[in-house]
Each structure stands twice: as structure tokens, then as C-alpha cells.
Amino acid sequence: MNPLNQHFSTPYNTAPFSKIITNNYLPAFKEAISKAKIEIDNIVNNKANPSFENTIVALDFSGQELDRLSSIFFNLNSAETNDEIQKIAQDVSPLLSEFSNDIALNEDLFNRVKAVYNLKDTLKLTAEQSTLLDKNYKSFSRNGANLPEGKKELLRKIDKELSQLKLQFGENILAETNAFEMLLTNENQLSGLPEGAKEAAKQLAESKEKEGWLITLDYPSYIPFMTYADNRDLRQKLSLAFGSKSFKNDALDNQNIVIKIANLRYDRAVLLGYKTHSHFVLEERMAKTPNNVEKFLNNLLEKAKPAAHREFENLENFAKEFDGLDRLQKWDSAYYSEKLKQKLFSLDDELLKPYFKLENVIDGAFTVANKLFGLNFEEINNIDTYHKDVLTYKVIDEHGELVSIFYADFFPRAGKRNGAWMTSFKSQYVKDGLNERPHVSIVCNFTKPTKSKPSLLTFNEVTTLFHEFGHALHGMLANTTFPSLSGTSVYWDFVELPSQIFENWCYEKEALEMFAKHYETDEIIPMDLIEKIKASATFHEGMQTLRQISFGLLDMSWHGQDPSGITNVKAHEVDAFNSTTLYPDVPENCMSTTFAHIFQGGYSSGYYSYKWAEVLDADAFEYFKEAGIFNKSVALKFKDHVLSKGGTENPMTLYKRFRGQEPKPEALLKRAGLIK
């Protein structure tokens, strides 16, 4: 019997990472799939008439061992991968895709689900039970249960190919990121770079037994160089390397993969009776239709574009005065924006970073969660982790009851993809009267401590930590019966509300004074710096909004139409960006070939949801501000109606229960400085 396929005899039933032998994964998956199939057969062959309990509930709790194993394995494939794990992922993904289709296309199982669904009005279900029944029925009908046999086989083929292409897409980007190194041997080449960034580059070179300073495409190395390095040629070199990942017509190129993924998704949607992939996806979103998404993005574009063009013109004029530059290029953006911000607000990240020691920011997030929701975080060392940098915490409520186990993984390394995300190793649910508590994790890529300094965060990294921690709270505070409706299992354009609202506390004096303390003197961040943070919050907001809209429009251009006529990825992208372009195009660069959110993650036809959720979060935070940002009563409503409820009801119903009304977009436009 494979040790991966048993209830773990570990503290809190946590994943036994150090005991896992990589070779065990494939047999463990095969065994877990086999067990899950038996559970499905038991539902299908039940002699009793189909009921909510023996069909819908049984189905939701089937395959739990497989779910747990998948969450452990695929989280490692993102945060601590290697060639062996990537090879197993390529072998396992088609098996999981096949199994998923075995369920979705199981006619006898669907007939039982349909029989219960047809009795819906007579069953006296709770709101959560009713949602689960709807979700189950739709998951069959939306995934081919009503197709004739020949088309079911075609669907299986498409899904199998998609699962492998998405993995390959991500592996190519990671390989490209790891392959690039810029070794600088003359200290003059680092002119403008803060001491901390120089020290980190020196340390990185030493770790690879090289002389000089090493710059890579990992965010903590890439972003400071692009923001502060005076050497424009080197910024250009780094920018071109970053922007041309998987766009070089070589073995790691993603252009054909992008075209194949887009076409397969379209074919799949048409097979299921939908006009496009976006029509399929958005049916189960708050936005409902591609037309609504495009209307939403274009309305925002109309408001943001004049501001963005004004900001760009000001930046270009500033660069001309500052350096005699005739035309701003993409590799100039962060550099001159930072210089202009310093001029306008006497504020830069180097001034702020001493007040944002990583450990203090973590404590700050914990303190805010304590004041709002009564949570206490205790660091514990008796839990296994997959890497020595991972921190582990026990989260308890005001009554000393276990709420969650929390993992935090903050620093970049070779086996870890760029960016930041929240995930979970174990879901919350209620079974046999026991409320199983979740195991939640956040993964980031922040600057590592150096020999002389602790990890000091930029303000952007502070908001990133709070953002992911907001997602984590959504997972931790889950309190639903069924695993498939728990935590972040919500409509995709609702999932960013808890994360984005939590960022707001980073801008508030009352919150900042609790954790923004100088790492050497313990001095609380001065009031004038807090004022500058608030004043600079809308700096280049028009350009930032335009950038987010451009990504949303690019996503919809791939998925909201028949992509079969697209033969040139770059030309298609240039066309999609046409209404949002500020900088001259860089022929060597391509966004689509590294747009992991939509081609590897779950954001296809969903990238708009970041801006959509900003409307919700700005409106929701207005409510907090009216009552006081630590008001217990408002926090309790947010916890009871949003954070704990997962996907148990329609998100707008939950939101209105919290807020008392539908969200108003004016709050976002006002906060962004786009309207008065």
C-alpha cells in the first residue's frame, strides 16, 4: 500500500513532505484513481432510488484521497519542482483528465444526478444544498454528458491534449526564466541600484561560484534593476530577455502551444453547444456574457484612457527634461516613473523599505486579521515542509479552537515559478459531524535576507503579501458542509474580492502604525511618509488601469471569438492591444507566450475579474471606512456573509447581504482618482 494514499499520522493530518519519495507519486495517483472509480461505481450501482444523500452528497465526497494527493503534488510542481516532478506531471495530467471525463461522461451517473435534479422543487433543500445540486447537474451538462458517444470521445481527446499543453506552456517559461543570467563584473554597471539590491546580486553570484553581480529574471532581481539601474542599455537587454521568454522559435517556444490551446478550447466549447470558449466560461460567472465583459472593460477604458495619456505625456516630458530622452521605451517605464514619483512625492521604495521588514509585515497581516476576525497565529515547528524556507503556523479563534494550518513560502528559487499565489493542501468540510479544518498556503517571491540586511519589502511587495493573505483568509475561515463549495471555490470574478479588499489596510495610518517599524531603530513609520503613501496611491493609476484592461482585452481576443484564423501570435496581440497602447511596440517581445494566468492557470476569459473585483472591493471598503476600518460589526458581516460562505450561494446575494446593496463602480473610479 502506498504511504501517500493513507490518512497521514502527522500533527493535524498535515502532508508528510519529508517522507514522500518522488517515485511514489505515479503509483499513488493510479491507486487513488482506482479507489475513486470504485466510489463512483458504488453510487451508480446503488439499488436505492437516487436521492440527494446517496447521489449528490456521495459524489461530492468521492475521490477525496485523489484530491488531497493532487493538491500536494501540483502545489510542489509550482513551488518546488524539478525534472523528475515535471516528468511525473506530464504522465499524471492525462490520467486525471481521463478520470475527470470518465465521471463527466458517465451516462448512468448523470441519469441519477438528473433524477435528483428533476425532484429539486420537492426536496426542501437548504441554500447550500440547492447550490450543490445545481453545480453538479451543470457540471455534467456543461462537460458533455448530453453528447452522443462519438462526440464524447472527441471531448476526451481535446481535454487530454489541453492538460498536457498547459503543463508544457508553464515548463517552458520556467526553463526560460532559469536559463537567463546577466553577470556584471564592473561595479559602474550597477550605478543607481540600491545597496540592498547590489548586495543581493553579489550574494547570488557567490552562490553560483561566480565573480561579480548576477541579475536574473526572478522578480526580486529583475524589478529593482529595471526600476533603479541608470545603464539604459542593460535595462534594455534585461527587458528584452524578460519579454521574449518562450518567443524565440526554439525548443522552449510557446507560440504554437498558445494557438493550439486557444483552438482546442474553442472546439471544446462549440462541441458543447456554445458560441465560443468565453460564452462557455462566463455562463458561470457574475459577468454572464462576453458582451458584458467587453462593455465593462470598454467603459473603464473610456474613463482611464484620457488620464493614462496625460500621465504618459507627463512622464515623457519628464524623461526629456531629466535625460534629454526623445522617446520612452518599455525599459524606461519603471525607471523614469520612480524618478518622477520621487520628485512629486519625495518618496521612493528605498525610503520605505526599512519600515517593511518581512517579519513585521507578516505580523501586521496577522494583527489586522486578529482585530477584524479574532484570529491568533502561532508559529509551530512540528509540521513537515517541502523546503526549509517555508514557515508554518497554527491558527486559532478567540475560543482556542483550531481554524486552520497556514504555510508561508516567501523567497524565489530555481524550482519555483515567478509571481505570488494562494493555494491549499487540504479543504474544509463537515463530515460525520466533524468540521475538518483547512490547510492553506501562500507562495511569493520576495527579496531574500542578505548578510547585512533582513528581507525588506518594497511597498508593492507589502500589498502583494496582504493580497495573498486575503485569499488565505477566504480559505481559512471557510465554514461550509461540502468540499466543492468551500473557501475560494466561488465564481472566478468574485474570488479576488477578499484578496483585493485586504490590500486597503496597507494604506491606512491606523493599520500601518501597528507594523511599519524601522528594522534598526524600531521607530514607527513617520506620519509624513504615511501621507505620502496615501498621496502617491493614485500615481499613474490611469496607466496602471489601462495595462490591466489591455490584459483583459487580450484574454477576450483569444477566447471570445473563433481563433482558427489566427496564424501569427504577435500580430494578433498587437491588434488586441491597439486601443490601449502607450509605448512603442518591441518586435522581439510577446505577452501571450508568457501569459500563464490565461494559458496555464484558471483565468481564461477571466482576467477582467481583477478589475471587476476592484469595483466590489472599493465599494466594500467604503463600508469599512464609514464605520471604522476595524469595526467589529462590519468585519463580522464580511466574515459571515463573504469569507465563510465560499460558493454556497450566488455571490451577488452574499455581497448584498453584507453590504445591503449592489456595488457602485463610483467608489473605484473615485479611489483611482479617475473621477472627482
- Concatenated DSSP letters for 218-245? SHHHHHHHHHH---HHHHHHHHHHHHTT
The CA distance from 614 to 609, in Å, is 8
Residue 92 has pLDDT above 90, yes or no: yes
pLDDT digits (tens, 9 = 90+) for 18-67: 999 999 999 999 999 999 999 999 999 999 999 999 999 999 999 999 99
User: Which position has the higher pLDDT, 8 or 27?
Assistant: 27
Find how far residue 294's CA is from the centre of its chain: 22
Percent of the chain scoring above 70 in pLDDT: 99
pLDDT, mean over the chain: 95
Percent of the chain scoring above 90 in pLDDT: 92
Q: Which residues of 481-511 are buried (b: 16+ CB within 10 A; e: fewer)?
A: bbbbbbbbbbbbbbbbbbbbbbbbbbbbeeb
Pairing of strands 421-426, 402-409: unpaired
Structure confidence at residue 3 as a pLDDT band (50, 70, 90): low
Judged by phi (left if over 0) then psi (alpha if -120 to 50, else beta), residue 424 lies in beta
Find how far residue 442's CA is from the centre of its chain: 10
The CA distance from 665 to 177, in Å, is 38
Catalytic annotation present for 468: yes
pLDDT digits (tens, 9 = 90+) for 324-370: 998 999 999 999 999 999 999 998 888 999 999 999 999 999 999 99
Tell me the average pLDDT across 70-88.
95
Residue 5 has pLDDT above 90, yes or no: no
DSSP helix/strand/coil, 489: coil
pLDDT digits (tens, 9 = 90+) for 294-337: 999 999 999 999 999 999 999 999 999 999 998 999 999 999 99
Tell me the average pLDDT across 204-209.
95
Q: Which of 120-124, 385-389, 665-669 is predicted least confidently?
A: 665-669
pLDDT digits (tens, 9 = 90+) for 560-619: 999 999 999 999 999 999 999 999 999 999 999 999 999 998 899 999 999 999 999 999
pLDDT digits (tens, 9 = 90+) for 406-457: 999 999 999 999 899 999 999 999 999 999 999 999 999 998 998 899 999 9
The CA distance from 468 to 638, in Å, is 17
Residue 277 has pLDDT above 50, yes or no: yes
Would you tell me how many other CB atoms lie within 10 Å of the CB of residue 456? 24
Q: Which three cell numbers stand for residue 148?
A: 452522443
Structure confidence at residue 227 as a pLDDT band (50, 70, 90): very high
User: Which position has the higher pLDDT, 227 or 349?
Assistant: 227
Considering the candidates 80, 176, 316, 468, report the single residue annotated as catalytic. Answer: 468
Note the pLDDT of residue 85.
95
The CA distance from 666 to 655, in Å, is 17
Note the pLDDT of residue 582.
97
409 beta partners:
443
CB 220 within 8 A of CB 226: no
Find how far residue 563's CA is from the centre of its chain: 26
Residue 492's identity, in one-letter code, is W
Tell me the average pLDDT across 378-395.
97
pLDDT digits (tens, 9 = 90+) for 494-517: 999 999 999 999 999 999 999 999
Domains of the chain (ranges, CATH numbers): 3-104+106-146 (1.20.1050.40), 180-243 (no CATH), 354-539 (1.10.1370.40)
Residue 126 has pLDDT above 60, yes or no: yes
Strands of the sheet containing 402-409, edge to edge, are 376-379, 391-396, 402-409, 439-443, 421-426
Note the pLDDT of residue 4.
63
Note the pLDDT of residue 6.
58
Structure pTM?
Answer: 0.89
Residue 374 has pLDDT above 80, yes or no: yes
pLDDT digits (tens, 9 = 90+) for 641-669: 999 999 999 999 999 999 999 998 888 88
Pairing of strands 429-431, 434-436: antiparallel
The CA distance from 419 to 421, in Å, is 7
Residue 485 has pLDDT above 70, yes or no: yes
Note the pLDDT of residue 487.
97
DSSP helix/strand/coil, 285: coil
The CA distance from 630 to 49, in Å, is 51
466 to each of 143, 459, 498, how far by Cα in Å?
36, 11, 10
Residue 1 has pLDDT above 60, yes or no: no
The CA distance from 519 to 454, in Å, is 8
- Is residue 373 packed enough to be buried (19+ CB in 10 Å), middle (13-18) or exposed (0-12)? buried
Note the pLDDT of residue 2.
58
